[in-house]
Chain A
Amino acid sequence: MADNNAGGGLVSRWADYSMRNPETVYRYLLYIGIGAFLLISLFPIYWLFVIALTSPGNMSNIWLLPKGFNIGVFIEIFRTTPFHWYVLNSLIISTVTTALVLLFASLAGYVFGRMEFRFRRPLMLVILAISYFPAASYLIPLFRLLTGNVGVAGVYPPDLFNTHFGIIIPLLGIMMPLSIFILTTFYAQIPDGLEDAARVEGTTRLGALFRVIMPLSAPGVATAGVLTFIMVYNEFFFSFLMNDGEVSNGAPLVWGMIRFQERFQVNYGEMAAASLVATIPIVILVLIAQERIVSGLTSGALKE
């Protein structure tokens, strides 16, 4: 900035001040950043509210405020579609998948984290590698397996299409690696002495895992659990392809939303309201278990 610039007196003074007080400038930059990121993250969600509250007749060019105040839409969605059943199906699928993943991954995490044996590293690498592949590359065989078309020695499994387990089972394989790595990290940190003491007192090996190691690693178990739950609740691929969308067939949330989209006369207000209702469980989880999500994502990712 040239100081002899007549019109630039203000600008040059401002630049001068900024140079001498960098901390103040950083503070302002920080606030600008916070504002921008809050806006980016929350505006689309706010806008859903705006759409939901707009009365059906006024749906055009909705900007920042709803046209009308149609609070009844939040009741209406349960009346026009069995929306609560879709959400409930998703909650059931997420809960069962999370429980099974935690059980299996705990056993594996105990082995990888606390025992030494020959194939430990190669096995961990295989499990890690598997988590990279896209669901699409498993689609044809898994679909055949889950619809009872692949038999072992003449024994055919039941057709799981349109059941909760048709979605839960393929997701086990997809969700397991992350939980195994999180739990391996946590279980490895428990001092051997605590386990040995329990063993001396007559606790069995498995008893030591479930009564000593797991309770002591409660934060780790919670981390793996929260992340798995969120990811299953959010999952699209198998939730969509392993069901025909009928609530009575255990259709999850994905289908609930698609049904809104498929209707001849799309009711955008209801669609937005349904979206907001469906995200309540997830938003509550994020607010309660923020720390867990942060530590889980980072420990899962930063582990070789």
Chain B
Amino acid sequence: MSSSNQSQNPIKAVHQIATKWIANMSDTRFAYLLLLPTLLTVTALAIWPLIYTFEISLHANSLSGLYGDFVGLENYVQILSGQRDAILPSPFLSFQDPINSGLIVTFIFAFVSVILEAFLGFGMALVLDQQFRGRRFVRAAIIIPWAFPIVIQGMIFYIMFTPGLGFATELTAWLPYLSRNALSHGLTALVVVIIADVWKQSAFIALIVLAGLQSIDRSLYNVAKVSGASPWQRFKLVTFPLVMPSLLIALLFRTIGAMRIYGQIEAITSCSVVPSLSCMVVQSFDTGNYANAATVAFITASIIGTVVSIYLLKYREV
């Protein structure tokens, strides 16, 4: 276009210059140009915060500013060895009081809920893999809990276990330890949070295992049938080994998710009753103890990083 056109319509002119500039770009440069928004977002909202969190965790707490003197790994040493328990929202690691200890509560929650979700999800996947009338409806019904907002999932179980209102406390009143006031005691509140998580997240495992089931070559079953394998043998020797990789991926994702648990706890009881690691980060942050918050946050991130690495090294030849 002629330059006289540019003075008349600057927007058009800029557009033309940009188009020409892009058209003459090398492929690699164009790739980076398109990646720019993503890289900026990811750097500003994830990579930089993580590094900054680590930096804060290497400094002493300061009452006036963001952080005080550089102390190296002192925060980590003190928190991991239990010397900080008195000024943390709840003890970090205490075998005398495991149900009140952040690390142990988080591990119990992750382990128990993921195991239960694996069994329930696997069962759901086996059912959804069959042909029957109303399959779409059943699948939708199974997915809906997964799509429920965390705060409402919390509300449901909060109401259900409210003494005198829900039936759940009546059901469990005769059990030892399960007092009528389940939501105000560490152990029973943890059980309720696990139940809520299993209700919401089993569908996730079900869908991923279902995808694994449906990718199995059906002719293998015919071969097994002809070879005289019983249905149970078919499941044990064909289905299970082939679906194992999908199940492991689903378990990995759920384990990572469970290690972050925060919202459900806040909605069902409170962080002081079930002190997960993320809870401890938020509570320390709220009270202005940034050194503790950053250190617990980075420990949590490291645990999750370790879980992912173990999985990748063990089950994936990277």
Given known A139-B297, A302-B249, contact A62–B145 (CB-CB < 8 A): no
A38 surroundings in chain B (CB, below 8 A): 138, 141
A216 in contact (CB, < 8 A): no
B94 in contact (CB, < 8 A): no
B44 surroundings in chain A (CB, below 8 A): 145, 173
A40's nearest neighbour on chain B, judged by CB, is B199
| Bound-state Cα–Cα, A174 to B140, Å | 26
Q: What interface size band does chain A fall in? A: 35 or more
Tell me how far the C-beta of B249 lies from the nearest C-beta in chain A, rounded to whole angstroms: 6
Cβ of B152 and Cβ of A278 under 8 Å apart?
yes
A149's nearest neighbour on chain B, judged by CB, is B66
Cβ of A37 and Cβ of B150 under 8 Å apart?
no
B253 surroundings in chain A (CB, below 8 A): 301
Q: Given A176, A283, A304, which contacts B42 in the complex, CB threshold below 8 Å?
A: A176
Tell me how far the C-beta of A18 lies from the nearest C-beta in chain B, rounded to whole angstroms: 12
Cβ of B150 and Cβ of A180 under 8 Å apart?
no
Cβ of B53 and Cβ of A302 under 8 Å apart?
no
Which of A115, A144, A234, A287 has the most chain B CB atoms closer than 10 A to its own CB? A234
Cβ of A142 and Cβ of B45 under 8 Å apart?
yes
Tell me how far the C-beta of A301 lies from the nearest C-beta in chain B, rounded to whole angstroms: 5
A204 in contact (CB, < 8 A): yes
B34 in contact (CB, < 8 A): yes
A51 surroundings in chain B (CB, below 8 A): 159, 165
B151 surroundings in chain A (CB, below 8 A): 236, 253-254, 257-258
A28 in contact (CB, < 8 A): no
Cβ of A176 and Cβ of B138 under 8 Å apart?
no
B149 in contact (CB, < 8 A): yes
| Bound-state Cα–Cα, A63 to B169, Å | 11
Interface of B is mostly: helix
Q: Given B53, B142, B263, which contacts A37 in the complex, CB threshold below 8 Å?
A: B142
A285 in contact (CB, < 8 A): yes
Within 8 A of B (CB), among A13-32: 22, 26, 30
Cβ of B141 and Cβ of A137 under 8 Å apart?
no
Cβ of A287 and Cβ of B140 under 8 Å apart?
yes
Q: Given A117, A173, A237, which contacts B45 in the complex, CB threshold below 8 Å?
A: A173
Cβ of B208 and Cβ of A298 under 8 Å apart?
yes
B150 surroundings in chain A (CB, below 8 A): 234-236, 254
Given contacts A61-B170, A115-B27, 7 further A-B contacts (CB under 8 A): A34-B127, A136-B260, A139-B293, A174-B46, A253-B149, A268-B165, A304-B316
Q: Could you list which residues of chain A lie within 8 angstroms of chain B, going by C-beta atoms?
A: 22, 26, 30, 33-34, 37-38, 40-42, 44-45, 47-48, 51, 59-63, 103-105, 107-108, 110-111, 115, 117-118, 123, 126-127, 129-130, 132-145, 169-170, 172-174, 176, 180, 204-206, 230, 233-237, 240-241, 253-254, 257-258, 261, 268, 271-272, 275, 278-279, 282-283, 285-287, 290, 293-294, 297-298, 301-302, 304
